[in-house]
Structure 1
């Protein structure tokens, strides 16, 4: 069996360290892993960055996207050497659809009342808006089944998402041509689990449900790794 490189794409309000429990599971199986830092500035811009990472990897790639990272891999996954997509509590967008449009069809999660907006400077001298999670709510909204000592660190080390990314339509939907797997975090307080299910069903993904918080790869790394392993096995070439 040929072993692809697994590229782990983190979501909003987190960074690549959110995969700290999943990475050892994959490395122990001899699976190469790359976990880049996503800029979290714009959906298609972030996807272009991840696509550039993918193109520079020799051989096949399995893209794994958590949360907003799912939207990113939906666009970046059209690269020729991507052989499968794995969504972890993620957004599987349709081409031309935004995060806000997909979420808008379902009741809000607890995240809606936990968001904090701050500003940052843009190159043209104007001001952009960043979105993050109220640090006092990170444990209950984001990671209720993760050690509270860990969530204290997550709360103060967030990587915000530019608010503009929520309204940006996806320029491609790689699941139309690439096989996909989707993990539903059935106790997710960040994304309504029905948003995850809808996106996965529409994409024809193989769906796995795990009773988990939004940070499924941190609280259930073995089960998350099993889905990645299955994607690798099923797409061997």
Structure 2
């Protein structure tokens, strides 16, 4: 069993595993073991349970990396025994019993709040539909990825992975940062998650913080800085 952690990259809402493409390329070049699961984005408890099941099947230690809503997911999934550290990228960092809506509600809304689109979807076994939340395609580039190549943002805008609306009110069952070391990148030009939401969560988690002048999609805009922080975390937790 290797002592070098496997890096598990957890994407957020309105994105998918491909959002880590530039980061994965660099980590694989280092010889780092990497896994990027597709998060269902159906609800915090279920999404965290899914990621936790992926983590449990990895032999050896795991470093969890979460972007945006993925930060909330790793906060819960990070209680798995083989998780040795948490890296947050422009992310929500919840406390136990706290929801995304409660944390966000402590701070002024970002421009994202006025650009959300709500779409019903069928729920098996129920007469009531669920509600998918996505970002207005026309506003996606300015809000999510203002400093990313325009041609790429057009593709990202029409290939979003929505988040079920129920996820916003679902409380975190636990907070792994209370027992795990944490690192965090603040995207200081973020128009999706208020940077002060990020700073507050990171401070509460006693994370080692790096600030980057970046849009929300910091992995696309500044992959070298993201990789640097992941490498730093790996070096710190590798026995």
Structure 1: distance between partners of 2:211 and 2:236: 19
How many angstroms does 1:25 deviate by?
1.0
The residue aligned with 2:190 is 188
| Matched ranges for 1:136-151 at <5 A | 136-151=138-153
Structure 2: distance between partners of 1:9 and 1:125: 32
The residue aligned with 2:156 is 154
The residue aligned with 2:14 is 13
The residue aligned with 2:232 is 230
How many angstroms does 1:126 deviate by?
1.9
The residue aligned with 1:94 is 95
Post-superposition Cα deviations, 1:36-60, rounded to whole Å, max 9, x if no partner, equal 0000000011000000000000111
The residue aligned with 1:217 is 219
Kept after mapping to 1: 8 A contact 2:3/2:60: no
Secondary structure of 2:138's counterpart equals helix
Post-superposition Cα deviations, 1:59-114, rounded to whole Å, max 9, x if no partner, equal 11000000000000000000000000000000110000000000000001010111
Structure 2: distance between partners of 1:90 and 1:110: 16
Post-superposition Cα deviations, 1:103-141, rounded to whole Å, max 9, x if no partner, equal 000001010111000010111232010000000001000
Post-superposition Cα deviations, 1:175-217, rounded to whole Å, max 9, x if no partner, equal 0000000100000000000000000000110000000000001
Post-superposition Cα deviations, 1:9-60, rounded to whole Å, max 9, x if no partner, equal 0000000000011111111111011000000000011000000000000111
Alignment length (residue pairs): 237
| TM-score of the aligned structures, taking structure 2 as reference length | 0.98
Structure 1: distance between partners of 2:224 and 2:43: 31
- 1:66 is aligned to 2:70: no
Q: Which runs of 5+ in 2 are unaligned?
A: none
| TM-score of the aligned structures, taking structure 1 as reference length | 0.99
Structure 2: distance between partners of 1:45 and 1:17: 21
How many angstroms does 1:2 deviate by?
3.2
The residue aligned with 2:47 is 46
